[in-house]
Amino acid sequence: MKIGGTKDIKHFVRQYILHNWNRLAGKIVVDCPAGSGYSSGLLRDAGAKVEAYDLFPEFFKTEGVECKAADIGGELPVHSSHADYVLFQEGIEHLPDQLHALQEMNRILKPEGRLLLTTPNYSNLRAKLSYMLNESEQYKLMPPNQIESIWFSKSDSKDMRFYFGHMYLIGIQRLKLMALLSGLKIKKIHHTRVNITSFLLLVILYPLILFFTYRAYRRAIRKNKNIPLEIRKKIFKENLMLQINPKILIGSHLFVEFVKYCELDEVVKNTNLFNKYGDTNFDT
């Protein structure tokens, strides 16, 4: 993790692309939402076959890559099991139906394909304090409202589109669960810049975090006795380790790499899903 330097998540996505330059060559990568196209350009330079989509493709600026109109909140115009990678950069926090969006990512990914997802870190301590004080992303901001929370809108006789701000911020625990319900599991958490406020809060609050998280863990183990003890321990340990992970508690962004482990119909059909796929082997 970095203490100083840029806060821009595009910098850390760029680092990932550079580190995996050879692995990305020749791969089909769906970039959605593509925004201005900065990351699409890097992926193109790495030799990837980039397919860019955005709700507002008119803002896309990168030459050599076509950006098509698409709404992540609906169905993407991409064939099933098509992409090796999907870059889902700074998008999920704008969407009311996040489970549907993750299911769409599963649908368009090939088996064992990777989803690279970034979002402001709603699990860091500054975000938790901000929500407690002001029910907002930052304690210096107003709660969600119709002036600041609708970033862009467009309407004509046939179409009305809203681009919401950070109305649907999501933390690592809920993100992990909804991804699991979408046939995706965490492969690795890539850490970004340290949020200084969260770091200072960690120094003060970490003993309390350890105490209350472990207390909740022990209580959860004692309950749910219809589930075998070994499985309870395995699943609740995942929650415990994420909840007390200092890097997550102080990181400015979440940058999570998921792997597609099953198709959507298998999520519903496999009654042993959580027993089978709960594990603590992802890299944090």
**Helices then strands, each counted (H, E), the chain:** 11, 9
Q: What is the pLDDT, as a whole number, of residue 2? A: 78
Is 175 part of any domain? yes
Q: What is the pLDDT of residue 164?
A: 79
Question: Does residue 79 lie within any of the structural domains?
Answer: yes
In a domain, 212, yes or no: no
CA 45, CA 50: separation in Å to the nearest integer? 10
User: H or E element: which one contains 180?
Assistant: helix 172-180
- Decide if 155 is inside a domain: yes
Q: Alpha-carbon distance 270 to 253, whole Å?
A: 33
Dihedral over Cα of 192, 144, 127, 7: its sign: positive
Position 231 scores a pLDDT of 87
Is the CA virtual torsion 195, 196, 198, 203 positive or negative? positive
230 falls within a domain:
no
Judging by beta carbons within 10 Å of its beta carbon (0-12, 13-18, 19+), is residue 268 exposed, middle or buried? Answer: exposed
Residue 262 domain flag: yes
DSSP state of 239: H
pLDDT value of position 174? 96
CB 71 within 8 A of CB 95: no
The bridge status of strand 150-155 relative to strand 160-164 is: antiparallel
pLDDT of amino acid 281 = 65
Residues of the chain with pLDDT under 70: 154-161, 269-281
Q: How many CA atoms are closer than 13 Å to the CA of 111, on its beta-carbon side?
A: 3
Query: What's the total number of domains in the chain?
Result: 1
267 inside domain? yes
Domain CATH code at residue 27: 3.40.50.150
Domain of 114 in residue numbering reads as: 9-195+251-277
Phi-psi region of 233 (alpha: psi -120 to 50; beta: other; left: phi over 0): alpha
At residue 145, the pLDDT reads: 84
* Residue 144 exposed, middle or buried by CB count within 10 Å (0-12, 13-18, 19+): middle
The answer to the question of residue 282 being in a domain is: no
Query: What's the length of the chain?
Result: 284
Region of 35 (left: φ > 0; alpha: ψ -120 to 50; beta: rest) is: left
Contact 31, 50 (CB under 8 A): yes
What pTM did the predictor assign? 0.90
